[in-house]
C-alpha cells in the first residue's frame, strides 16, 4: 500500500474536486501517491518524487507530479512545451506535469477531463460530453 502523505493535501483536495465531476471516476492508492480511474483504466496519477533525481524531470529536489493521458496531437504539443510539462518515460500516451505554486488549476481541470475522455468507455464519455 502506498503512503499518500507525500502528496500535499491541498493538491489532493483540488484533484478530488475535479475528478468528482467525472462519471464513475474513483480514487485509490497507487504504488506511490494516488490514482484516479474509470472502470479499471487509470486516467490520472499524482505523486511526489523523493530526494533522488526523478527519471521524469530534471531536478534534484522533491516535486509533486501528475501524469495523465493525452491524444496524439496534444501529447506531442505538451511533451515539447517544456516546464511544467514533461514526457513520462512510460506509456505510449502519457504526459506529465509538475504541480507547484504556479499551477493553473483551470488548465489542470481541462487536462484531467481530456485524460478521462481518452480512458473512459464511450458511454461514460458521452455522458460527460452531454452534461450528465
Domains and CATH numbers, the chain: 4-129 (3.90.1150.30)
pTM (2 decimals)? 0.85
Please say if the pLDDT value at position 36 is more than 80.
Answer: yes
For the stretch 37-60, pLDDT in tens is: 999 999 999 999 864 444 555 555
Residues 6+ apart with CB under 8 A from 77: none
Please state, in angstroms and rounded to a whole number, the distance separating the CA atoms of residues 132 and 129. 8
Tell me which of 30 and 50 has the higher pLDDT.
30
Sequential DSSP letters for 35-82:
EEEETTEEEEEEEE--SSPPSSSS-SS--EEEEEE--HHHHHHHHTT-
How does pLDDT run across 102-118, given as a tens digit for each residue? Answer: 999 999 999 999 999 99
How does pLDDT run across 76-106, given as a tens digit for each residue?
899 888 889 988 877 778 999 999 999 999 9
Provide CB contacts within 8 A for 61, sequence distance 6+. 51
The grid cell for 126 is 458521452
Amino acid at each position: 500500500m502506498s503512503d499518500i502523505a507525500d502528496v500535499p493535501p491541498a493538491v489532493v483536495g483540488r484533484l478530488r474536486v475535479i475528478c468528482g465531476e467525472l462519471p464513475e471516476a474513483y480514487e485509490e492508492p497507487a504504488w506511490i501517491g494516488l490514482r484516479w480511474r474509470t472502470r479499471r483504466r487509470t486516467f490520472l496519477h499524482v505523486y511526489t518524487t523523493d530526494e533522488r533525481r526523478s527519471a521524469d524531470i530534471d531536478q534534484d529536489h522533491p516535486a509533486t507530479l501528475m501524469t495523465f493521458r493525452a491524444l496524439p496531437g496534444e501529447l506531442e504539443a505538451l511533451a515539447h512545451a517544456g516546464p511544467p510539462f514533461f514526457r513520462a518515460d512510460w506509456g505510449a500516451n502519457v504526459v506529465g506535469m509538475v504541480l507547484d505554486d504556479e499551477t493553473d488549476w483551470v488548465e489542470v481541470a481541462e487536462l484531467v477531463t481530456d485524460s478521462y475522455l481518452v480512458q473512459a468507455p464511450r458511454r461514460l464519455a458521452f455522458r460527460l460530453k452531454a452534461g450528465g
